[in-house]
Amino acid sequence: MGRTLYVTDLDGTILNHDQRVSKESIAILNRLMEKGLLLTYATARSIVSSTVVTEGLRITTPVITSNGVSIID
């Protein structure tokens, strides 16, 4: 059986009103990824900007940035 990759946007989706991933979300998502969940994000933000707002999130899959222009592994 195959695995599912979950992809989220950042702005208006996973970021809170402070433009960050909340500590609670980070804890939950990191715990799920430790158990095998495949998670990444696709965003219009640059790699620098997206790295800042997702600090603490331990994503091990490639991320899509700059409106799809870059895929960063």
Dist. CA 11–CA 18, nearest whole Å: 11
The pTM score is: 0.90
What is the maximum span of the chain, computed from C-alpha positions, in angstroms?
A: 39
In which element (H, E) is residue 47 found?
A: helix 47-53
Q: What is the pLDDT of residue 41?
A: 98
Q: What domains does the chain contain, in order, with CATH numbers? A: 5-72 (3.40.50.1000)
Q: Give me the sign of the Cα torsion angle 67, 59, 23, 36.
A: positive
Print pLDDT tens along the chain (73 aa): 789 999 999 999 999 999 999 999 999 999 999 999 999 999 999 999 999 999 999 999 999 999 999 999 9
The verdict on whether 11 is a catalytic residue reads no
Catalytic-role residue among 9, 11, 18, 73:
9
Q: What is the pLDDT of residue 73?
A: 93
